[in-house]
Structures are given as structure tokens and as C-alpha cells.
Chain A
Amino acid sequence: MSDRRQQDGPRRFTLGKAVQYLAIAFGLFWSLAPVYWMLATSFKTELEATRIDPTLVPLEPTLANYIGLGGQSLPFFAFFFNSILSCLATAAIAVVIATPAAYALSRARFRLRGTVSYAILVFRMLPLVVMLAPLYLLLLNLHLLDSIGGLVVGFTTFGLPFAVWMMKSFIDAVPIEVEEAARVDGYPRWQILLRVVTPLIMPGILTTATFVFMEAWNNLIYPLTFMTTMEKQTLPAALVLTFTGQFKTDWGGMMAAATVTTLPLMIAFFAVQRSMVRGLTSGAVAGA
């Protein structure tokens, strides 16, 4: 590569490159501008946040909105805890169920294997709203409405098909000889899955769990439908319900809460970023 660059001399700035950079800049602006606006507004006073001529940078930066989150009037930390609990439980349950399911779809040879695989995929393509009524009735009959458990059931129904497909691609990439060696060593299938395959697909499990976690975290419609007690609400739903009043919206408070809401997602993403990239591209090249 370096040799070729030397031969080419200094890289020329072509029109194509200019368009490419412009497109990247626009994409970045498009994605990051709302994030900046959220951050900036979270540090503004109530008055500044609702000015007719908005300010780009807070004139008098304040932490009042963040301090207000911990105030007595709003069980913000309860919302946060509800979200963390329900999403972590969803991610954990999804990978625990998805791993053996994906293993069966990847390795076992049975009639209707393809049909089952695609049925799972089709389930994933249904809009969230379609599942709302049946899920509501199901949770009602199971007496799980307005409970974290019910919410986890709802989140899992939607996260699981995706998790199965994603885990299947990771298991497909495990060399079959490794499993056959374990069979020759005398291990039964479930132990091979547990002791040989699972350690090898750990990056995949983390990646899948992160995706399921993020999807559950961002899910607004299920908590708004299934939860009636305010204290049991998840964070995104609580944001909508508490910061928007009939006559006034607390923009500063809402943006501070939104910032705190996105933090776990950011942390989760950066924590598994490396293995996620490796996971998503595994098997793409020979020897990977």
C-alpha cells in the first residue's frame, strides 16, 4: 500500500473525494446535531431553553436539570432501575434461549429446518404494533400486566427472533471439526454446546445481548401499553409521561433525563464495540 502511495505522489483532491467528504459531513451532522442539542439544552435554564431565538451554546450553564432528576417529586432512579432490570433480563433470557435454538438450526438436520428458520425471520418483520393486542391479552391472562416480568415477556418476544438469527451466524462460523473432536472425546451435544461452542462464540453472545438490550431500551410502545403504575414505568416511557404537561413542557429536565437515558446505551455500545465489529464480520473472510 505504502509503495503505491509513493508512486502516486501526493493524493489528489478529486471531485469524487469532495462529494464523499461532503456526504460524510452531512451524515455526521444529521446524526450528531440532535445529540448536541440534547446535551446543550440539558445545561440551559428553563427560561433559556424556551427562548424564541434559541442559543447554540448555553449562556448560563447549569446542572439544575440534572440535580432535579434526583428530586423528591420524580422517581427518576426508579425509572432508571426499571429500564436496566427489564432490559438486562430481556437480553439475558434472549441469549439463553437463542443460543440452543440457533445451535439446533445451525447443526441439526431435521425436516422443516429451513421453514422454521424463515418463520422466525418473518416473525421479526412484523411491526411492533401488530403484537400489541395479542401480547396484551396474553399478559392479562397471565396476570403479568403492569409488572416488570410482563414487560420482559413483551421485549423478549420481539428480541428473540433477531437473537436466534444472529447467534446462528456466529455458530455457523465455528469449525465443525472442533465439535466433532469433542464428540470423539465423548461429550454429548449439550455439553459440547456449553463447554466448546459457547466459549468460542462469546463475542457473538455479547454482541447479540447488546443489540437486544438496546432494542428493549428504546422500546416505547410496550411500556406505555402494558404498564399503568407510574413508579413501575421504564425510563423512555417515563420521559414522555412526566416531562410533557398539558400547558408546559420542561425541555431542560427532559433533555437531562434523555442524556442520562442514552448513557447506558453508549456505555454498552463502547464496551462491546470491538467484539461487535468482530462478531458482525466473523466468517466474512477465510480463516477469520
Chain B
Amino acid sequence: MARITLKDVAKFYGDAQVLFDCNLEIADHEFVVLVGPSGSGKTTLLRIIAGLEHISAGDLYFDDRRVNDVDVADRDIAMVFQNYGLYPHMSVYENMAFGLRRRKIPASEIDRRVRGAAEMLNMAAYLQRRPRQLSGGQRQRVALGRAIVREPAVFLLDEPLSNLDAHLRVQMRAEILRVHRAVTATAVYVTHDQIEAMTMGDRIVVMHEGRIQQVGTPDELYDAPANRFVASFIGTPAMGFIEATLEGEGDRAELVVPGLRLNLAEPQRKALARSGARQVSIGIRPERLVLGDDPSADWRVAGTVDVVEMLGSEQYVHFSTEAGSLTARVSRDHPLKVQESVTFSGAAQHLHLFDRETGKTLA
């Protein structure tokens, strides 16, 4: 078991810096997900924790022990790779036992652990097979099994589900969480899929362009994103944005948006006034747009339907307004057609305000 601490961790490849001042504390037993788009540095950060990449600057601690220069073999970690990284010339049994043999664990104990892990992952019938004789899901289970038998202090998983089909991915998500509960190791999980992050992580670390953007529980990230990037990255369908300008000074300042009537809540007004930002992006989550022109609503927005995505139980309606495009989640009881004029309304407290220049959350 281990607590992981990163202090001002940076990584350079030659002159190119790929990680900037990463600070993070991961509690013992915690399941933390690193999420971000391709090239955000999440895999590099995971590989630094693993010891597969050298730290250019900053410190990494496992509990109170600085492990910057500790070899990967001595970090007491287990890792599941994106492409499984199984040994093709060994049976499933040997794949799982290989790491244990290195640690001079008695054969009877190795056998007990391998069979136990295989049992846990429903792979007991495949122990003598080679990886090439297994399906993608089974290979991923072997990779998981190989990590489990090691009984490591830290579990590292690098996009382990990205090669699986959608159905299997959902199944394996539950499986990984079940395994994590059973082994109670600290787990760091990398994915570019925000749904995976939201459903699996105790806490989520959102990364973008080599920087940690926000660390928080799924609820915190969804309800109080730190900046426009986090707001747009977390949530499906993504948050929509319209652009606004702050006019007037002090308490009389008003956000002006073409085609939108807007009454901001008092805390939002104050926050706007404090920030001094003139160019503002307003973010609205699709489920916060209520179909219809409700006179008592804080804001109303009119537009024309561009695309309707039918999902069975509900539909995603993408529509254009004068100030930008938005997406709304609408019950299928209200059939909408392309080119139809629509009006949506909602409460001011559900609007997210961002400084358009810095992207930071204003309110």
C-alpha cells in the first residue's frame, strides 16, 4: 500500500517540455484517474510514476520515500499496458508467474496466487493457452491477472480498455473496479475517455497540454469545473458555449448576448464585477436547457435546430443561436425537426461563466 506524492514534476524531451509543474497527492487505496486528450501528458505522468521515464525536475514520493532514482523493479508497482504487453511465447500461467519467479516466491505460493487470480478473472480454463489464442478481452484479463498476482503497493493502468469494443469495455470497467476493491492497492488509471474517468475514479485528474487542469471527484469536476477546458471535456454531450460581452461598470454591469435574455444571479454579478473580464464565455450543460419559453426563467435563448440525434430514450438537439451553438438533451416526447425554430430557458445558477481570454471560471 502506498501514498503517492508528486511535487513540481516536469518532463523534458530534449528542449521540448511535455509536463509542467505537476503537483498531486494520491491517498493510499485511492483509485485516481488521469484523463485528457491525446498529447496531454497523462501517459508520461503514469510512466514517471512507474519509473519507466526519468523525472526531469521535481520529486516523486511513495509514502515518505523519494523514488526519483529508484529503479522500476524496486518500486513495488504493477502495470497494465494499453497493448497488454503479454509475453507471446509464454502460456497464460507463465505470463502471470514470470514476475513472481523473479522474486523467488515458492512454487506452491506462485501456483496459489496464479490460480486465485485466474479464478477471480474467469480465466482458469485458459491457463495453458498462449496469448495469441485469446480474444482481446481475455488478453486484457491476463494483463490484469499478471498485475494482481504481484500484490503490488501501486497499480498502474495505461488505457487498458482502449482496444476493446464498447460492450466489453463496460464489462471490464466493472471488473477492474471489482479487482481494485479486492486487492485494495492504490490505483492510477489513465484514459482519454471521460466516461471511463467519471464512472471509475474516486478522484479525477484532468490534464491538458502537459498541465494538471483540475483534481476532484466526478461531481466536483462536473458541477464546478476550474476552467473552460475541464467544462468542455467532462460531460457527454459536451457543454455548449455562447460568447458574451460585459457592458457597463460596477453593479450596473450587464452581460450582453445577442439573442439571449439574461438575468444573472447576484453572486454571479459580483464575481463578474470582481474579475474585471470583459469578454465572457457562457457554458450551459445540455440537460440544463429546458424546452419552451418559460416567462419565469432567468434566461431564454432562441435558435434553429441543426441536427437531432435520437438515442431511444431521449434526443440530443444541436441548435444555432446568434451567439453560438448549443446542445440540449430533450425527452423524445417532444419530436423536433431540423430547421425548426426552438426556444429554451433555464435557471441562472446553472450557467457557467468563463473568462474568454484565460479560460478560467469566473462563476
| A interface, CB within 8 angstroms of B | 175, 177-178, 180-188, 196, 199-200
Interface Cβ pair total, 8 Å cutoff = 51
A29 to B67, CA, bound (A): 68
The answer on a CB contact under 8 Å between B79 and A181 is yes
Nearest Cβ on chain A to B255's Cβ, whole angstroms? 51
Known contacts being A184-B99, A187-B73, A187-B102, is A178 close to B86, with CB within 8 Å?
yes
A177 / chain B contacts, CB cutoff of 8 Å: 81-85
Flag whether B52 is at the interface (Cβ < 8 A): yes
Nearest neighbor of B80 in chain A, beta-carbon distance? A181
CA distance A153 to B308 in the complex (A): 76
Q: Mark B31-47, 1 if CB is under 8 A from A, else 0.
A: 00000000000000000
Most buried by B among A177, A187, A188, A196: A177
B92 CB to closest chain A CB (Å) equals 14
A185 and B98 within 8 A (CB) = yes
Q: Is the CB of B72 within 8 A of A182?
A: no
17 contacts between A and B (CB under 8 A): A177-B83, A178-B85, A180-B52, A180-B79, A181-B87, A181-B146, A183-B52, A183-B73, A184-B52, A184-B72, A184-B78, A184-B79, A185-B98, A185-B102, A186-B73, A186-B102, A199-B89
Whether B73 pairs with A188 at a CB distance below 8 angstroms is yes
CB of B77 within 8 Å of the partner chain: yes
Is there an interface contact between A181 and B86, defined as CB atoms closer than 8 Å?
yes
A196 contacts across to B, CB distance below 8 A: 87
A175 to B85, CA, bound (A): 8
What residues on B are CB-neighbors of A182 within 8 Å?
87, 98
- Could you tell me the distance between the alpha carbons of A180 and B84 in the complex, rounded to whole angstroms? 11
Q: Are B99 and A178 in contact, CB atoms less than 8 angstroms apart?
A: no
Return A99 CB to nearest CB of chain B, in Å: 16
Min CB gap A179→B, angstroms: 8
- Which residue on B lies nearest to A191, using beta carbons? B102
Give the one of B52, B73, B82, B146 with max A CB within 10 A. B73
Query: Which residues of A lie under 8 Å from residue B78 when comparing CB positions?
Result: 184
Q: Which residues does chain B contribute within 8 Å of A188, judged by CB atoms? A: 73
Question: Which A residues are CB-close (under 8 A) to B103?
Answer: 186
Knowing that A180-B52, A200-B89 touch, tell me 20 more A-B residue pairs with CB under 8 angstroms. A175-B83, A175-B85, A177-B81, A177-B84, A178-B87, A178-B88, A180-B79, A180-B81, A180-B85, A181-B79, A181-B85, A181-B86, A181-B146, A182-B87, A183-B52, A184-B52, A185-B98, A185-B146, A186-B102, A188-B73
